[in-house]
Amino acid sequence: MDFKNKIILAPMAGVTDYSFRKIARLQGADLCVSEMVSAKAIYYNDKKTATLIYTKGDDTPYGIQIFGHEPEIMKSASYLLSRGLYNPEKIDTPSGILEPLPSYIDINMGCPVKKIVNAGDGSALLKNPKLCKEIISACVEGSCLPVTVKIRAGWDESSINCVEIAKIAEQSGASAICVHGRTREQMYEPYANWDYIKMVKSAVKIPVIANGDIFTGSDAERILDHTGADSLMVGRGALGNPFIFGEIRAIFDKKPYTPPTIFEKIEVARKQVCSMVLEKGERVAIAEARKHLSWYLKGEKGSASVRNLVNQATTLEEINNIIDNYLETI
């Protein structure tokens, strides 16, 4: 698995399901990552977790991100996922394994959400470099696929240790490391400090993936110029705007880029929602799709009232009627 010169869709809980990853790929993303999943849930063969990593053969290359703080549990999850052995439905396949297999396993050491860090997971691990080493080593040992690590700059401004953790990751056998240029305490404000990513790039030889405040193609160009990183990962910048991958691709290929019209945006949004309904069923899909549609419509002329209506819709027919009525007014 090559982690250089890639435009990557970041793992985002409740966002990067199969349908959204498919749209991101069509728009130019090279690599996509699942929503983060609990290693403990994989270990105990939890059925609900299967929906979070659901994929199909057109979703490659594809990484699965796991979180947890117990090395042996993380090792077991890496072992099962990398071999296609996590099978809560006990489905029989000709090969005996579930396919398609992921291309790599990613360890979450950066999630800042209170529920995650209070359990000792995500960015809470940055406070314990020894445990980080044990977890990464365990996952590398358990997995038959490459293992990567996603971190933040540190827990807070007084404990910036991204370079230390990156070196540990490299020494423990990680194939690449992704650095978000904020501490856990900063959450998503103020601006990400790309200097931290630059420091990591200078300290390790494995590929470094830059993450944080990439909202335009020019942001992507600047973060790579500033940090020297090997690849970049787009998170919030892709919400309602998977077109950012095409914009970045155009800059990299030195080609002109034309932003999508509102009609083109709506067409892509509808494809995503239809895919969600097909994969998850209407009730679940529409409940999840509301936020995506609101993101697609954000900033468009006269869209505030439409977003309110979308957030009350319960069926695909209602969604289509709301959007059709809106398009007739513009």
Positions annotated as catalytic residues are 111
Closest among 227, 222, 189, 192 to 207, alpha carbons compared: 227
Give the CA diameter of the chain. Answer: 60
- How many angstroms separate the CA atoms of 306 and 325, rounded? 9
- How many angstroms separate the CA atoms of 139 and 271, rounded? 36
- Residue 215 near residue 244, CB atoms below 8 Å: yes
Ramachandran angles phi, psi of 206, nearest 5°: -70, 155
- Residue 306 near residue 324, CB atoms below 8 Å: no
- How many angstroms separate the CA atoms of 314 and 284, rounded? 9
- How many angstroms separate the CA atoms of 278 and 35, rounded? 19
**Residues sharing a CB contact under 8 Å with residue 228, sequence separation 6 or more, in sequence order:** 198, 201, 202, 208
**CB count in 10 Å sphere of residue 157:** 11
